Structure 1
Amino acid sequence: MSASTSTNGFVQVRPKRVRNVAVPAAIVVFVVCGVAAVMLRRTSNGLLLTVSDQVAMVGIGAVLAGLILLSLRPRLRADENGVEVRNSILTHRYSWSDVRGVSFPEGASCARLELPDDEYESISAIQSFDGEHAVRAMRDLRALRREIGHIEG
């Protein structure tokens, strides 16, 4: 699900436009590495690549494509119990009592949860690149926070 969902005390958001860039980029990287592995059997300077070199090149393409696809993982889930923020690698869960606010600082690439002691958690699921989708997601998240009694402050 790439859209923001807000129904009866539940908000789920995933980045929208990053999919349009990450999937084709991952495919291109993988295909280029595969083609290079096949075409570089013998180089112009006489260097002979073995089958293991070709397999390694395809493997490198797969790893790079996988790293690019990590940009599709971010997700935010919020309900009456708290907020779960999954960025590219790590997932954190916060109760609403630990969330001091939800902000999108000017010039920032993504939103963030304001936490105690001047700390914050970036919300990669809500990206400035997504425009109106990000605005709607912020509205939904703030509305849920108000609805359960944790007013923005």
Structure 2
Amino acid sequence: MSAPVPLPDLPVTFRPTRTRAVLLTVGGALFAVLTAIALLLARLGAAERLTFILTGALFFGVTLLFSRPRVVADRDGVTVVNLTTRRRLAWPEVLRVNLRSGDPWVFLDLADGTSLPAMGIQPGIAKQRAIRDAKALRALAEEYGTSSRR
């Protein structure tokens, strides 16, 4: 049997920092390159230059959106921020924290019978960190959720 996972200090934020760094770097570089092309090509008109810059800004905005996911846990519950949604859950609502082999991110089994993806913990680039974060979130859910249900 494995040793119990120590509870992290609260509040704690789980997010895929390496993935976020890669996304923001690529998005910023793409924006810079497209802006440089727009400004350096003398043959472009004003509308074409603006199109290049807006395209770069659009790509950067998409990478910002992809870097948004996080899971924030505090004593009262957990906030799950995914690409376009944000949901606040009290600990008793979280029945189980799952990260199975091959899953793209953690899934939370909820008391209402549904499952909520928590994209802030994903094993993509940093698998060991995602496993450690999932175990920490599971320990928090067991500590605060079950003590509230008694």
Tell me whether the two structures share a fold, i.e. TM-score over 0.5. Answer: yes
Change (3 A) 1:10 1:150: farther
1:24 positional shift: 1.9
Matching of residue 51 in structure 1 with residue 46 in structure 2: yes
Q: Which has the larger radius of gyration?
A: 1
1:19-75 CA-to-partner distances (Å, cap 9, x unmatched) read 331122112211221133234443xxxxxx421220221012112112112222211
Moved segments of 4+, more than 6 Å: none
- Asked whether the 8 Å contact 2:14–2:72 carries over to 1, the reply is yes
Which of 133, 137, 140 does residue 141 from structure 1 map onto?
137
TM-score of the pair, normalised by structure 2: 0.80
Please give the per-residue CA displacement for 1:66-93, whole angstroms capped at 9, x wherever unaligned.
2112222211112332211011221101
Is 2:89 the counterpart of 1:94? yes
1:111 maps to 106
CA contact (8 A) 1:114 1:121 kept: yes
Calculate percent identity across the aligned residue pairs. 31
In structure 2, what is the equivalent of residue 79 of structure 1?
74
* Residue 142 of structure 1, CA deviation: 1.4
- Give the C-alpha shift of residue 136 in structure 1: 1.6
Amino acid at match of 1:26: G
Aligned-partner Cα distance in 2 for 1:99–1:120: 9
**Runs of 5+ consecutive residues of structure 1 not aligned to the other structure:** 43-48
In the alignment, which of 105, 122, 127 is matched to residue 122 of structure 2?
127
Q: Tell me the number of residue pairs that the alignment of Structure 1 and Structure 2 aligns.
A: 140
